[in-house]
């Protein structure tokens, strides 16, 4: 089966610099970018108030699992900061592949780790490097995909058999192992095709109280596994002006949060070695920043549950007051800003703002994962999640119940970083349909199980059909909009968000 695909877009060691620098207190400032690529690529730290966040939470005491490709733990940012690094992927000879490697093959995982726990030491001028959002978190790394040899390079993983690519299963098994290893936050900057290991893996994570954070797909601007999994925190990416990047997901009910992902200093491997001031774009970066931000938030409230941490993140999304409206932003700027009570079309609840969420009484919030869809075709189902966690799901009427259709596509595993994979062909069929009861339901469930085991070639996903009596969910195949304003619920107040392509104003 085709392997994973990377999705962060490189910009070079002396990279294209930012056109706007965001202040923690001002929201309409766009000064000329500096000549220092590293500083410009860390604009998100000031925008999100990371230094303020670190006064109360640095990730200490929280284990973060990074599921990615192999990693270079020797770069300055990560020296002494990787608690463990393992893989189950086999080399052609049958032996385990090394989970730590140097060079381009390891730069994606290395970059994600640096955004989470980076020390700030690196190869830029003055010995500076990437500083992570949760620098004192315990990071455990799991390599679940490797670049294949040959002209058509792909990212694959063989488990029982080295030449049989089962990268989706490898990702799911890594989730399960991370849970066993005590991970409280699991960061996955990957997109993958369905594997029947995903459901028990997610249920085990939820049962253990862990938070699973996953990315969207930049090439197709759609959501695949594990991001499509019910209860998973799914992330898209924005630029320094708070606008969706041109490669970002649009109009998807699956998206939960947005976070910085444009012109981010992630570092990268060059012919002369590791360079800390390489910039790149993508939902990978936004996912790592969100996962690390949740870890930092949790470390400030160690008595909270993962569900309560997510409730705080949802309630304290970035907003700013302007002309009687509440606009999506990186921080909460202004007085009497409402909590979020609904989703925008493309930002989810909004831009994650852990520096504001940390100020809430997190332990008093509901112990319920706000990312779990109670109705519809979500997998695992709300009932399965309730059984695993002991949290009673919201009752649904029989008219609103539905069964996953066997037409739900199964994309092959794809990695989140540099445009290596070719875009997949879009299917013309609907992704879900309403099914009758009785024997037909049973037959279709059996057919679904058989279908999902086939691991079909990549296809685009479209949104599940809406529940009866519920507002329709936006189509995953809706064309992107260069610019439009949309209204979102925020405790009864109209909250306006703006989204337009990268580079436009």
Copy the structure tokens of residue 236. 């898209």
Task: Report the number of distinct structural domains present in the chain.
Answer: 1
Mean pLDDT, residues 61-87? 98
Q: In the predicted model, is pLDDT for residue 68 greater than 90? A: yes
Whether 476 maps to a domain, the answer reads no
Q: In the predicted model, is pLDDT for residue 90 greater than 90? A: yes
Task: Give the domain extent around 114.
Answer: 9-319+326-364
Per the prediction, the chain carries an average pLDDT of: 77
Could you tell me if 41 and 279 are in contact, meaning their C-beta atoms sit under 8 angstroms apart?
Answer: yes
pLDDT class of 505 with cuts at 50, 70, 90? very low
Instruction: Please give the pLDDT value at position 395.
Output: 55
Whether 428 maps to a domain, the answer reads no
Mean pLDDT, residues 421-448? 34
The strand pairing partners of 188, in sequence order, are 67, 214
What is the helix (H) or strand (E) element at residue 415, kind and residue range?
strand 414-415
Mean pLDDT, residues 357-364? 98
Instruction: Please give the pLDDT value at position 25.
Output: 23
Mean pLDDT, residues 426-443? 34
Q: In the predicted model, is pLDDT for residue 477 greater than 80? A: no
Contacting residues for 138 by C-beta, under 8 A, at least 6 apart: 61, 62, 63, 64, 83
CA distance 109 to 41: 18
Rg of the chain taking only CA atoms, in angstroms: 21
Mean pLDDT, residues 174-202? 97
pLDDT in tens, 222-265: 899 999 999 999 999 999 999 999 999 888 889 999 999 999 99
CA distance 187 to 416: 12
Instruction: Please give the pLDDT value at position 453.
Output: 37
pLDDT in tens, 274-312: 999 999 999 999 999 999 999 999 999 999 999 999 999
Instruction: Please give the pLDDT value at position 241.
Output: 95
Instruction: Please give the pLDDT value at position 236.
Output: 96
HEC assignment per residue over 118-156: CEEEEEEHHHEEEECCCCCCEEEEEECCEECCCCCCCEE
Whether 414 maps to a domain, the answer reads no
Whether 424 maps to a domain, the answer reads no
Whether 100 maps to a domain, the answer reads yes
| Ordered DSSP codes for 436-474 | -STHHHHHHHHHHHHHHTT-PPP----PPPPPTTSPPPP
Copy the structure tokens of residue 289. 């920043």
Mean pLDDT, residues 206-234? 94
* % of the chain beyond a pLDDT of 90: 60
Whether 215 maps to a domain, the answer reads yes
pLDDT class of 115 with cuts at 50, 70, 90? very high
Of the candidates 154, 99, 138, 228, the residue with the CA atom closest to the CA atom of residue 415: 154
CATH number at residue 143: 3.40.50.200
Could you tell me if 382 and 394 are in contact, meaning their C-beta atoms sit under 8 angstroms apart?
Answer: yes
Whether 245 maps to a domain, the answer reads yes
Instruction: Please give the pLDDT value at position 335.
Output: 86
Whether 450 maps to a domain, the answer reads no
pLDDT in tens, 133-162: 999 999 999 999 998 776 556 789 999 999
Q: In the predicted model, is pLDDT for residue 464 greater than 60? A: no
- Kindly report which listed range (126-130, 384-388, 414-418) carries the lowest average pLDDT score: 414-418
pLDDT class of 180 with cuts at 50, 70, 90? very high
| Ordered DSSP codes for 204-247 | HHHHTT-EEEEE-BTTTTB--BTTTSTT-EEEEEE-TTSPBPTT
């Amino acid at each position: 089966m085709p392997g994973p695909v990377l999705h962060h877009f490189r910009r070079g060691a002396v990279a294209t610099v930012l056109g706007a620098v965001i202040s923690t207190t001002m929201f309409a400032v766009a000064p000329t970018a500096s000549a220092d690529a590293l500083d410009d690529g860390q604009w998100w730290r000031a925008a999100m108030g990371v230094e303020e966040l670190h006064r109360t939470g640095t990730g200490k005491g929280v284990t973060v699992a990074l599921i990615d490709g192999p990693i270079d733990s020797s770069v300055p940012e990560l020296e002494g900061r990787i608690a463990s690094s393992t893989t189950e992927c086999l080399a052609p000879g049958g032996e385990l592949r090394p989970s730590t490697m140097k060079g381009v093959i390891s730069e994606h995982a290395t970059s994600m780790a640096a955004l989470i726990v980076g020390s700030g030491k690196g190869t830029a001028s003055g010995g500076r490097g990437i500083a992570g959002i949760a620098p004192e978190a315990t990071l455990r790394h799991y390599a679940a995909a490797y670049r294949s040899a040959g002209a058509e390079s792909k990212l694959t993983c063989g488990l029982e058999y080295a030449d049989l690519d089962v990268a989706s299963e490898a990702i799911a098994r890594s989730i399960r192992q991370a849970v066993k290893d005590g991970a409280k936050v699991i960061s996955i900057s990957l997109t993958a095709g369905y594997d029947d290991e995903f459901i028990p893996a997610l249920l085990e994570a939820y049962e253990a109280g862990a938070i699973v954070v996953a990315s969207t797909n930049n090439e197709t601007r759609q959501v695949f596994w594990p991001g499509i999994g019910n209860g998973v925190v799914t992330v898209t990416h924005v630029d320094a002006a708070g606008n969706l990047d041109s490669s970002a997901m649009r109009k998807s009910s699956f998206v939960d949060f947005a976070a910085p992902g444009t012109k981010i200093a992630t570092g990268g491997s060059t012919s002369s070695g590791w360079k800390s001031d390489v910039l790149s774009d993508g939902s990978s970066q936004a996912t790592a920043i969100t996962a690390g931000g949740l870890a930092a938030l949790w470390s400030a409230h160690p008595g909270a549950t993962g569900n309560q941490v997510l409730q705080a993140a949802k309630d304290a999304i970035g907003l700013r007051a302007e002309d009687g409206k509440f606009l999506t932003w990186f921080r909460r700027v202004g007085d009497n800003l409402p909590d979020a009570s609904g989703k925008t079309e493309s930002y989810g609840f909004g831009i994650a703002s852990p520096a504001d969420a940390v100020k809430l009484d997190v332990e008093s919030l509901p112990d319920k994962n706000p990312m779990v869809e109670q109705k519809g075709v979500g997998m695992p189902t709300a009932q399965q999640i309730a059984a695993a966690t002991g949290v009673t799901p919201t009752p649904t009427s029989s008219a609103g119940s539905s069964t996953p259709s066997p037409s739900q596509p199964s994309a092959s595993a794809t990695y989140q970083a540099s445009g290596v994979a070719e875009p997949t062909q879009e299917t013309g069929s609907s992704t879900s349909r309403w099914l009758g009861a009785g024997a037909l339901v049973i037959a279709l469930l059996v057919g679904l199980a058989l279908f999902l085991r086939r691991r079909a070639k990549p296809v685009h996903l479209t949104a599940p059909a809406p529940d009866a009596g519920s507002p329709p969910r936006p189509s995953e195949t809706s064309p992107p909009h260069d610019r439009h304003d949309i209204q979102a619920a925020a405790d009864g107040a109209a909250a306006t968000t703006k989204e337009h392509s990268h580079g436009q104003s």
